[in-house]
Structure 1
Amino acid sequence: MMGSARQFLVFALIGVINTAVHFVVFVLLLRVFGVPMLAASAIGYCAGVANSYVMNRLWTFKVTTRANSKEFLRFAAVNVVSLGINLLVLKYLTESAGLGPEVAQIGAIGASLVANFAGNKWWAFAGAREPRDQLK
């Protein structure tokens, strides 16, 4: 199993890929299929989350057990909490710290990225790895 720093880097790179999946699906649905903007974005976001689940399961956390609904629900819950953290930090940095939304979003993304990684490493995918791998 790879060290946590390298694992975090892989997780972040997969996040970039997930963002690209979200964007491509969004543009295709919006411009090619005429799907309304918010629906296209929501579907694109879901495609990115599905991609994230598969890629992180296989490459970041190297899960060898069979995928199951309980694991996916934990993964989804971590993503919802991460979104909440993003929104709270964004609100705090814009309203209390006086940062512009674009700069504040960078901090919010950082906070939610760390929370998302930790939640997936130590909760969503933790039970699906060998016990010795969970300590690394």
Structure 2
Amino acid sequence: MNVLNKTLDSIFNGKLKLLSRFSATGVLNTIIDFAIFTICESLLGIHYTISQVIGYSFGVANSFVFNKKWTFDHNNSNKKMIHELFQFIVVNIISLIVTLIFIKALVNDFNINVYVSKIIVTLIAQVINFLLYKIWVFN
């Protein structure tokens, strides 16, 4: 158990701290997003674009808390939280628009399964989010 604790400490607090924490937070956000998306799309029969908005929104709410407090260790008192939240929402609206465009194209134009499309657009969103969080929101 001690070796596991040292390994985890090394991963989440070492040289790759930022990337590993962002990735772990992203995995949790993705699980939440996919679970809500699946419930909406498969169980409730809600169209995949609306399911994408709902699932993504739940992931975003979790993402703000974890990225602010843990990933980016951002407790800058000079910057009001409301301003930071506004920037975070703007980034995620951009990301959501990109994912909606891509998921629609992948499903309708390329006949790719909706869940495979969801995985692809999730990866695209992660790149956009990481870059914009790092340089604009939590800097």
TM superposition score normalised by structure 2:
0.62
Q: Secondary structure at the match of 1:90?
A: helix
Q: Secondary structure at the match of 2:96?
A: helix
Number of aligned pairs?
111
Contact 1:18 1:52 in 2 (8 A): yes
Deviation at 1:92, TM superposition (A): 2.0
- Tell me what 1:131 maps to: none
Distance 1:48 1:112, change over 3 A: closer
Is 1:53 aligned with 2:64? yes
Partners of 2:28 and 2:121 in 1: CA distance: 19
CA-based RMSD: 3.1
From 43, 68, 74, the equivalent of 1:63 is: 74
- Tell me what 1:90 maps to: 103
Deviation at 1:65, TM superposition (A): 0.8
- Tell me what 1:17 maps to: 28
Q: Secondary structure at the match of 1:63?
A: coil
Unmatched 5+ stretches in structure 1: 28-36, 127-136
- Tell me what 1:31 maps to: none
- Tell me what 1:122 maps to: 135
Runs of 4+ in 1 over 6 A off after TM superposition: none
Distance 1:46 1:112, change over 3 A: closer
Q: Secondary structure at the match of 1:118?
A: helix
Contact 2:99 2:125 in 1 (8 A): yes
Distance 1:45 1:62, change over 3 A: same
Partners of 2:56 and 2:124 in 1: CA distance: 19
Partners of 1:2 and 1:118 in 2: CA distance: 20
Encode CA deviations 1:65-117: one digit per residue, 9 max, x unaligned. 13521111000111111111111111222233331211111111110111111
Larger RCO: Structure 1 or Structure 2 (Cα < 8 Å, ≥ 6 residues apart)?
A: 1
Distance 1:2 1:89, change over 3 A: farther
Deviation at 1:16, TM superposition (A): 3.2
